Chain A
Amino acid sequence: MTLLAFDWILMVEKLILIAIIVFASLGIALYTTFAERKVAAILQDRPGPNRAGPFGLLQPFADGLKLIMKEEIIPNSASKALFILGPGLAMTAALMTCSVIPWSSHVELFDRKIDLQIADINIGILYIFGVVSLGVYGIMIGGWASNNKFSLMAALRGASQAISYELAMGLSLIAVLMISGSLSLKTIVEEQMAAGSMWNIAYQPLGFVIFFICALAECNRTPFDLPEAENELNFGYHQEYSSMKLGFYLFSEYINMIMSSAVMACLFFGGYDIPFLNESSLAPNTAAILGLLALLTKIVVFIFVFMWIRWTVPRFRYDQLMNVGWKKLIPLALFNMLLTGALILWKQG
């Protein structure tokens, strides 16, 4: 009879939460594509898409419809199963990240305390790293299965780039973990929210800069967009893709961007913390909604910075990319880690 003791309401609650978060991230990703075009336009003194709907707000739907209507082409020489698996994997890996991000504190509905986080696992940040590294398989498989030399080159670049930058990312993260002493994202956020403590950015400015640069590289954003280098590799790993499979690749990039913004907000900018406000003095539901808005604001700011960088900086050369990753970021991250450790020891006396 132990099966009956299963908390079915919790199950339903989590399923609803999953559905909301997945669809919300898809919706936000949809509008991120629009924002990208709009930001690019505004930074270049253009109006940007403004035809579909008021201010062009229906543009992402028009784009999506266009992608779905396009002919689905699978090259004869491609290995079909992998060719289809690639975009699916990229998308799944991108969406899986959102399960451990604490979107806000908890709401109280129907006498139940509902955490606005799908799973508060105690290795949250490790889980994110694991899933993000899975994401590179999307690129690898896509590039390999296309059976095209440009795609393969892009896949190789993507893989080596992801490996080099994940190292520095992980090292800069260790310094944060030394301060918070926990791998659970919720705990990390709550420690930053606690009275008298500051956001981690105050303790880890160098760590944040390293993490941010690595996040750019992980998301394949300019100046690290070597895997899709339009002018040398012809769009790289998704060159052979068409229709919604291409859409999935493009989409997963934007979801990755949102998720890495969320992770950065949680690790360094207090997550759903509102600065100079004691959330515990508010009603839990109000606090949850305000916290969610605060987190979303932080994410939007990060996404804007991502785009701002994209439309400012040209792409790095491959040797520059490797130099920055291995010769600059990793030593810096190691130095940061040692410094943090030494300071913590010194403080403890």
Chain B
Amino acid sequence: MQALTNRGKEVSRKPMSFMERLYIPSILKGMAITFSHIFKKQPTIRYPEQKREFSPVFRGLHVLNRDEEGRERCTACGLCAVACPAEAITMEGAERLEGEENKYREEKYAAKYEINMLRCIFCGLCEDACPKDAIYLSETFAPANFTRKGFIYGKEDLLIPDPITAPEEFAKARGAHRNN
């Protein structure tokens, strides 16, 4: 029969020599190998104390952005929902009223904005689609939850803290590589 690949190797069926049958030399050799591992560097990261940095292109949990005056950027245009291949995003728009200029950047805003984290595939297409730089994927991932409902993140979960009233939380939520 012709072999499918040329990588096959014939199994050696030759009986063991006397030294091989003694087992002890090869056992000692093996023990030397394991002993040398005592002096090797451990690749372990001691997790809660030590954390491995995410890569700069890591796409984690979504953040709804604000501008530097603390106004929500989202205009509920729906481009992110259209771009979303997993159909995880739903939203409802509303018109900005008089006196709300300090809350919303433009005349229209998202009254409801939900992302189903069980559907989301964290592809980042919403971030690419957004013309207002209102949504981006942060450096953390969605934590575990007990219910399916708990994975539907609303505006209160997604919106970034106000840069004016809570600058520290804002910087933290923005993440390391977006701050510079």
Q: Which residue in A47, A308, A313, A324 is a CB contact (below 8 Å) of B42?
A: A47
Q: Size range of the interface on B? A: 10 to 19
Q: Mark A307-343, 1 if CB is under 8 A from B, else 0.
A: 0110111000000000010000000000000000000
Q: Binding site of A, secondary structure by majority: helix, strand, loop or mixed?
A: loop
Contact B38 A313 (CB under 8 A): no
Report the bound CA distance from A324 to B30 in whole Å. Answer: 19
B37 cross-chain contacts in A, Cβ below 8 A: 42-45
Interface hits, B1-48 → A, CB 8 Å: 23-24, 27, 30-31, 33-35, 37-38, 40-44, 46
Contact B46 A308 (CB under 8 A): no
Q: Which residue in B23, B31, B43, B44 is a CB contact (below 8 Å) of A308?
A: B31
Q: Which residue in A45, A50, A312 is a CB contact (below 8 Å) of B31?
A: A312
Which residue of B has the minimal Cβ distance to A305? B31
Q: Which residue in B27, B42, B46 is a CB contact (below 8 Å) of A312?
A: B27
Contact A45 B42 (CB under 8 A): yes
A209 cross-chain contacts in B, Cβ below 8 A: 24
Contact B40 A45 (CB under 8 A): yes
B residues with a Cβ closer than 8 A to A are 23-24, 27, 30-31, 33-35, 37-38, 40-44, 46
A46 within 8 A of B: yes
* A168 smallest CB distance to B (angstroms): 15
Cβ contacts A to B, 5 pairs, < 8 Å: A43-B37, A45-B37, A45-B41, A45-B43, A46-B42
Q: How many A-B residue pairs have CB under 8 A?
A: 35
Report the bound CA distance from A311 to B27 in whole Å. Answer: 11
Q: With a 10 A CB-CB cut-off, give which of A44, A50, A312 has the most chain B CB atoms.
A: A312
Contact B43 A312 (CB under 8 A): no
Q: Which residue in B38, B40, B46 is a CB contact (below 8 Å) of A47?
A: B46
B31 cross-chain contacts in A, Cβ below 8 A: 308-309, 312-313
Which residue of B has the minimal Cβ distance to A309? B31
Report the bound CA distance from A309 to B33 in whole Å. Answer: 11
Which residue of A has the minimal Cβ distance to B38? A42
Report the bound CA distance from A209 to B35 in whole Å. Answer: 20
A309 cross-chain contacts in B, Cβ below 8 A: 27, 31
Report the bound CA distance from A309 to B29 in whole Å. Answer: 11
Extra pairs beyond A46-B42, A312-B30, A312-B33 (6, CB < 8 Å): A45-B37, A47-B42, A50-B46, A309-B31, A313-B31, A324-B23
- Say yes or no: A43-B42 contact (C-beta < 8 A), given A309-B27, A312-B27, A324-B23: no
Contact A313 B44 (CB under 8 A): no
Which residue of A has the minimal Cβ distance to B48? A51
Report the bound CA distance from A193 to B125 in whole Å. Answer: 80
Q: Which residue in B27, B41, B46 is a CB contact (below 8 Å) of A313?
A: B27
Report the bound CA distance from A308 to B28 in whole Å. Answer: 11
Report the bound CA distance from A47 to B46 in whole Å. Answer: 9
Interface hits, A34-59 → B, CB 8 Å: 42-47, 50
